[in-house]
Structure formats: C-alpha cells, structure tokens
Structure 1
C-alpha cells in the first residue's frame, strides 16, 4: 500500500485535470490535459468526467450523475475547452444537455440526469454477482503491460490496475479469446472514488478487444452510463465484456463494484473495432 488516500474534492491529479471554471457567457471552461491521452487523442472516460464535473458545477442541488448518454463526435486534444450546460427538466432530479467544445468543434455531446445520491438509502439490490478476481498479490499490474502500449496510452500511468491472470494473457500476446477484461482499480495517487470519477473508470481499462487478439485504439461512438450509488472507499473491481462484433463495431459492457461488494456503476458503449 502507498501513503494515505486522497479524498474526493482534494486537489488530486484527477481533480486538477477535470476542474472547470465559470465564464462570462455562462459556459464553463476547462483545460484538457495530455496526461490522459490515448495515442494522439484523449481518453473518452476522461472527457466524460470533465463534462460530468461541469454539470455538477451547474447543478449544486443535484450533484451526482445518475444516467448519462454520450456521443463522441470528434477527437479531443489537449488544451482549452468549453462546456455548455442547458437545462431540459428541473425537479427532484435534473435533466440537462451538455456539449464539450474546442473552438468551433463539438467533441462530445451528452444528455444527463443528475440527482442527490445522499437522499437514497445507499443499498444496491441486485441479482448480479461481483467478478471473481484473484487476490491483489496474484494479479498482474499495469506496469507490466507492453512498453509500446504504455508509451502510447499515457492515461494508464494515472491508474493502479491489477489484472486478473485469466484476463491478462494479452500482455504476452496470448489473449484468451473470451472477450473479457477484469481488474482491481484505483487512482495512482490513491484518490478515493466518487460518482463523477466513476464516469472515467467506466472507460479506463484497455479495450476488451485486446482479449480477442485485436489490440489497438477502439474509439467510442456512444456510451451510456448508470451510477447506482456512492462508492465506498478502497479498491474498485472493474469488469468489461463483449459478445458481439459486427459491421466493424463492437459493444462493451462494464460493471464497477466497490469495496463493500456493491454494483455502483454500469455502462454499455458501442465502439469501432481496432484496425
């Protein structure tokens, strides 16, 4: 274990790089960091977390994401960005539209419903079963991923990921072919998870196509995220699966389980198969 954890709201690396500030025209500004890169672009979950943080800033009475549907329209680049948040329905929960822009280009457009997870019981009742991962000490750390991958995917340096051995064959060029990726997860600086950070974690692991022998960039077209509860402190368990690839596209389903054995977030995305 490393030093004491960084709590949500402290100036961790994630908090610094997803920070937003109000602009005179009513929008929110952000500075997208190259540290969250995937090749020449930026990780989609990182972009979604920036938008999620902007929506939270615009809705102080409804601070938590409940459901978001995001369309990735063009690759984002490091540098200044603007988020426009437009209310669609206000009440106990709030539904808004939001666009992440760089210059005249919309990078990401989102429809989201926010609420206050503190008003819920915090209990998650599910028939789903948590992923059965090997103990941490038996898992394969992301620092053992191929050096070429780590040099291209700088976002991996932001995380401490421990891959279950059954899903880590791709490290050595021996993918299982099952279409599954599962790992223990935390931020490299031990920042504790919160609802907005889960938006990033849903897209943090390498594409599940690596386990199909199809390594490479798999750009997301659309991602729908459900946040079910505030995560307990500690390690998260993250599992991605896919069952179908057709028309150069594949789906990727993700579950995030917290240290209290609760399913706290889910997503499905449609992405392009790596070339």
Structure 2
C-alpha cells in the first residue's frame, strides 16, 4: 500500500494484491467524504422504477440455487432476482439485470459493514451477457466503483446493464439505489465474454 497524495479532502492510495509472488490486482483508491445531503440534481433513473421491496415473484438466490453456487456472496445476504430476467426461462433479451439485495440484519446494523456491502453490490449481479445467451466466466479486466453515500436501511435496488457486447469485450454498468431512492453506488467494468460463447 502506497499513499500517493494526502489532500485536505481527498487522499489517493495505490494497493497491490499479490498471490504466489505475482501481482494479481492493482487498485487506485481515492478516499474522501461521502455525500450526506440530497443531490443538487439527479435525472430520472430506471432503477428507481423497481419496487422498493422485492415483489412476491422475485427469485431468491440462496446457496442451493444454481446462481447461489456461482455467486457465493448469496450465502451472506438476501438476494432476489427479477422474475422477468430472460435467462431464467431460457430466453434471450436486453442485457439488463435487476436484483434486490439486503445484508443480513447483523451486518445492516453495523454502519461500516452496511457501507462495504453496498460497495460490493457494484459487482454482484450475474453477468448481463447471460440474457444474450453467453454463459460462463466473464473475467473482469478493469473495474471502477464510486461509493456515493451510506445506504439507508432496507433493500438495495440494483440494475446492471450493457450498451455494447462485442466479440470479445463488453462493459457492464451497475447503479445501486437505497430504500430512499438515493444513488449509493455506481460502477463500470470492462469484462471479457466467456470463451467459446
């Protein structure tokens, strides 16, 4: 870990994660104050059209669910997938995934755990490429995540989408709002399609 800059409001830090002597991940982290007041401006967001709480037909992603065996964090939270997700019924559709997330009560009661859970939500959905018939590991090559504010207690609404799915690459954007409709996390990643898909 290297501190690159200490500022009055923002600090810049670089972190390397090594495994067996090789650098596996490098991170550039900008740390500063979170928003606490309502935004000065916000365009209407599609994710806010989702119900604040998951509807009765939302699909629980438990450790026993096929997705729960891939998305292991489902063991540590309550995750519900929109029942209208095309890949759930073997169909194809828009590269958009909608889920509801909530940490378990003990984590939600801990402000720091709730904050880190919201940050993790920026990369928790099944790949949107599954809605286009591309199944398998989609390795993330670059990920940028913005933690905007502390989440209000309750369900997080998550919408992941992609605008371009190429032969090799696709981008995936996550937008996460809390129970009050405030943007908590935004993320964008560049990832690769599964081999042979």
Q: Map of 1:149-168 to 2, 5 A cutoff?
A: 149-167=67-85
Partner in structure 2 of residue 110 of structure 1: 27
Contact 1:223 1:268 in 2 (8 A): yes
Structure 2 CA distance for aligned equivalents of residues 252 and 183 of structure 1: 15
* Structure 1 position 226 matched with structure 2 position 129: no
Where structure 2 has 5 or more consecutive residues not aligned to the other structure, the ranges are none
Q: Which residue of 1 aligns with 2:183?
A: 263
- The two structures have a TM-score, normalised by structure 2, of 0.84
Partners in 2 of 1:189 and 1:104 — Cα distance?
Answer: 38
Q: What aligned pairs does 1:47-196 form with structure 2 within 5 A after superposition?
A: 85-91=1-7, 92-117=9-34, 120-124=35-39, 125-131=41-47, 132-134=49-51, 135-143=54-62, 147=66, 149-167=67-85, 169-175=86-92, 177-188=93-104, 191-192=107-108, 194-196=114-116
Q: CA RMSD in A?
A: 2.2
Structure 1: tracts of 5 or more residues without a match: 1-84
Q: Matches of residues 215-254 of structure 1 in structure 2 within 5 Å?
A: 215-254=135-174
In 2, the alpha carbon distance for the partners of 1:145 and 1:126 equals 39
Provide TM-score, normalisation by structure 1.
0.62
**How many residues align structurally?**
186
Q: Which has the higher helix share?
A: 1
- What do the CA deviations read for 1:24-61 (whole angstroms, capped 9, x no partner)? xxxxxxxxxxxxxxxxxxxxxxxxxxxxxxxxxxxxxx
